[in-house]
Amino acid sequence: MAGRMRRDEQVSATREALLDAAERLFAEHGVHAVANRRISLAAGQGNNAAVSYHFGAKTDLVRAIARRHAEGVEVGRLRMVAELGDSADLRDWVACAVRPVTEYVQALGSPSWHGRFIAQVTADPALRAVTSDEFVAASPSMRKLQEGMNRCLPDLPAEVRAERTAMTRHLITQMTAERERALADGKPTPRASWRETANGLIDVIVALWQAPVTRES
């Protein structure tokens, strides 16, 4: 029994080391530029097939990285959603989209790679679907968030709603990645803190959702 437990602990530690190495390398170089062998070496594994053995295809590795972060973001958003109740204030719901992300990345400390990893992955349509499954499709809090946004903007056409949802996602993803990169590189940032960064994002995204809709005559 003790031998089995040690074996399980070793396997778990190896998986975590591979996930850490893969996330960092993917964030810094892009998913398709990093070979499995490089991940294994960065994780201190002599077996070049370690990634395939523990995770399978690269898509499965990306999913595993996304999954271990999705829960942390979800916990923060569920708490905010519960506090909002039936709020009819658009800014409340936009904050619910932004702050769970920025607060989660802040809690990771610096350097972190989560924001840049998500930015790299969402640039690829196939991999974007993988992360969307983890952060959106399986997220009860996102469904509540969408319902709250819909209540605030009931007359917004469906196609415009979909377009502005995509814009919101891009803004949160890219601005989070930019700040994370600057902090990791020791470079100045436009905002002094993650909280102020979130404030700026919320200001812009609220304005985006309230922007007029131009209709072709």
Domain span at residue 106 reads 59-210
Q: What confidence score (pLDDT) does residue 102 get? A: 98
What is the pLDDT, as a whole number, of residue 7?
65
Arithmetic mean of pLDDT, 147-165: 95
Indicate whether 63 and 143 sit together in one domain: yes
| In a domain? residue 180 | yes
Domain stop point among 56, 71, 88: 56
0.85 cut: is pTM over it?
A: yes
Identify whether residues 66 and 132 lie together within a single domain. yes
Q: Does one domain contain both 78 and 114?
A: yes
Indicate whether 167 pLDDT > 80. yes
Residue 203 amino acid letter: D
Whether 107 has a pLDDT exceeding 90, the answer reads yes
Average pLDDT over residues 9-36: 92
Residue that finishes a domain, picked among 16, 35, 56: 56
Q: What confidence score (pLDDT) does residue 155 get?
A: 94
Closest C-alpha among 145, 165, 144 to residue 208: 165
Residues 30, 125, single domain; the answer is no
Kindly state whether residue 215 falls inside one of the protein's structural domains: no
Nearest to 165 by CA among 143, 138, 140, 190: 143
- What residues contact 84, with CB distance under 8 A and at least 6 apart? 92, 93, 96, 148
**Same domain for 84 and 38:** no
For the stretch 131-153, pLDDT in tens is: 887 887 778 899 999 999 999 99
Q: Are residues 51 and 66 in the same domain?
A: no
> Could you tell me if 46 and 99 lie in one domain?
no
Please indicate, yes or no, if residue 89 is contained in any of the structural domains.
yes
pLDDT tens, position by position, 40-87: 999 998 777 889 999 999 999 999 999 999 999 999 999 999 999 899
The count of structural domains within the chain is 2
